[in-house]
Amino acid sequence: MNRRELLTHLALVTGSALASPFAQAALKGAGVHVRPQSSVLSEPQRHMVEQLAELIIPRTDTPGAIDAGVPAFIDQVVSVWYTPTERRIFLDGLAELDGYCTKSWGKSFTACDPVQQTRALTSAEESSASYQPQGPASIRAAPDEHSPFFYKLKMLTVLGYYTSEVGSQQELSYNPVPGRYEGDIDFDKVGRQWSY
């Protein structure tokens, strides 16, 4: 492959990645996740999304999902970017999770303690464990809008976190102009993965 072909392939891959709805949502926010003007989430649902995102990426010695503005990012994507099918699956998933808590402990998800919330989230994860994305895995393929709630929640949480300034610069070691390539680095000396 010559240099021109390589650049053409890189442009196609990069263009495809940036054309995805999730990348567009991330780029539109320019790294700052703000709530949409017209949210489809009710106040209790927004609070539930905050708790769910923080369960997936909690605050430790690095900032958590709430610190990175992930709940606002999720709200933006669900309210503005999701298709009606995706939105219905997401909202139904929130309702099912809340119903699971009500049935198991007699209170809503947000009223449960962290141990109960974790059990409920684990149940949602287990119910989606058999999910296999439809069609071939390709960067050019449209996302599977029929993916289960937990899959959507986890993907949005991770995407929102690592497209935020907090996630890309504080949790990862951010280096906008990387130095030389070293293929064998002792991870214990570096301490974190690098993002570029």
**In the chain, where does DSSP find H-type helix?**
3-19, 21-28, 43-56, 70-76, 84-105, 114-127, 149-162, 165, 187-190
Identify whether 58 is part of a domain: yes
Identify whether 7 is part of a domain: no
pLDDT in the model for residue 133: 73
**Spatial separation of the C-alpha atoms in residues 51 and 114, rounded to whole Å:** 9
Identify whether 95 is part of a domain: yes
Model-level pTM?
0.70
User: What is the crossing angle of helices 149-162 and 114-127, to 10°?
Assistant: 110
pLDDT in the model for residue 165: 85
Identify whether 171 is part of a domain: yes
* Domain count across the chain: 1
pLDDT digits (tens, 9 = 90+) for 129-144: 888 777 666 667 777 7
pLDDT in the model for residue 70: 95
In the predicted model, residues of the chain with pLDDT beneath 70 are 1-36, 135-139, 173-179, 193-196
Identify whether 14 is part of a domain: no
Identify whether 108 is part of a domain: yes
**Spatial separation of the C-alpha atoms in residues 54 and 124, rounded to whole Å:** 16
Range of the domain at 102: 19-130+142-195
